[in-house]
Amino acid sequence: MHNPFLSNSDTEQPFILQLANETATLALGEKIASILHPGLIIFLSGELGAGKTTLTRGILHAMGYLGKVKSPTYNLVEIYKFSRLYLYHFDFYRFNDPIEWEEAGFRDFFNAETICLIEWPEKADKLLPAADIEIFLRFNELGREIRIQAGTEKGKQCLKSW
């Protein structure tokens, strides 16, 4: 099967993919999981229902998580532990006040031993560290369009290993 990620040798340019359905979105999540390592921050942006949580479910299942993956919209973060790795899945859709960030101690979640996936990062304004990888999802006539780009040198190295 052709891998569209390998056709782009310059990681300065975003990868753009068309995904027909939820199954394709889950499969992309599995591929993304293969390049993830501790210390990465990944932003997931897109309109409601575009597939951010579905993509996260694909990532988590590929990493060995067998349980139900739900959007952390109401409690802001879901925590997944794999061996010595923590993966934090944030959803800031209902995030209203920067004080919530400080009171929850979220700053401590971003470190060299964790992977942080953040839905609706724009709602956290400038409180978040820079994204290593940014993933944008949107609906189109073919299903979904996904754009993946590196935001840091660490992100560029990660995407090169794909």
Confidence of residue 127 (pLDDT cuts 50, 70, 90): confident
Q: What's the mean pLDDT in 120-142?
A: 90
**Which spans in the chain are helix H?**
22-33, 52-62, 98-104, 153-160
Q: Indicate the residue type of 140.
A: N
- 74 assigned to some structural domain: yes
* Domain hosting residue 56, numbered range: 24-160
Write down the pLDDT at residue 2. Answer: 35
Domain count, the chain: 1
Tell whether 11 is covered by a domain.
no
**What would the pLDDT profile of 13-69 be if each residue is shown by its tens digit?**
788 999 999 999 999 999 999 999 999 999 999 999 899 999 999 999 999 998 888
Q: From CA 40, how far away is CA 24, in angstroms rounded? A: 23
Whether 7 is covered by a domain: the verdict is: no
Q: Taking residues 125-145, report their average pLDDT.
A: 90
Query: 57 near 26, Cβ under 8 Å?
Result: yes
Cβ–Cβ < 8 Å for 41, 130: yes
pLDDT of 4 reads 38
Can you give the CATH number for the domain in which 135 is found?
3.40.50.300
